[in-house]
Amino acid sequence: MDHLKHIEGFARLDFDRHKRTGIPESILAEGKTTEQIISLVRCFTQKAGYSLTTRIRVEAARVVQQQLQPDLKIVYNETGRTLVAQRAEHTFEPTGGKIAVLAAGTSDLPVAEEARVTAEVMGCEVMTAYDVGVAGIHRLLKPLEQIHELGVSAVVVVAGMEGALPTVVRGLVPIPVIGVPTSVGYGYGGKGEAALMTMLQSCAPGLTVVNIDNGFGAGATAALIANCVAAAHAGRKNGE
Tell whether omega for the bond before 70 is within 30 degrees of 0, i.e. cis: yes
The pLDDT of residue 111: 98
Q: Is the dihedral of CA 215, 26, 128, 81 positive or negative?
A: positive
Q: Is 15 within 8 Å of 4 (Cβ atoms)?
A: yes
The pLDDT of residue 13: 79
User: What residue spans define the domains of the chain?
Assistant: 4-86, 98-230
Q: Is 97 within 8 Å of 153 (Cβ atoms)?
A: yes
- Each residue's pLDDT tens digit, 180-214: 999 998 898 899 999 999 999 999 999 999 999 99
Q: Which amino acid is at 195?
A: A
For 98-230, the fitting CATH number among 3.40.50.1970, 3.40.190.10, 3.40.50.150, 3.40.109.10 is 3.40.50.1970
- Each residue's pLDDT tens digit, 126-137: 999 999 999 999
The pLDDT of residue 10: 72
**Residue segments in the chain with a per-residue pLDDT below the cut of 50:** 1-4
Number of CB atoms found within 10 A of residue 186's CB = 10
Q: What angle do CA 125, 93, 145 make, to 5 degrees?
A: 10
At 193, give phi and psi (nearest 5°): -70, -40
Kindly give, in sequence order, each residue whose CB lies less than 8 Å from that of residue 98, ignoring residues fewer than 6 positions away.
124, 125, 126, 127, 150, 151, 152, 153, 226, 230
At 32, give phi and psi (nearest 5°): -110, 150
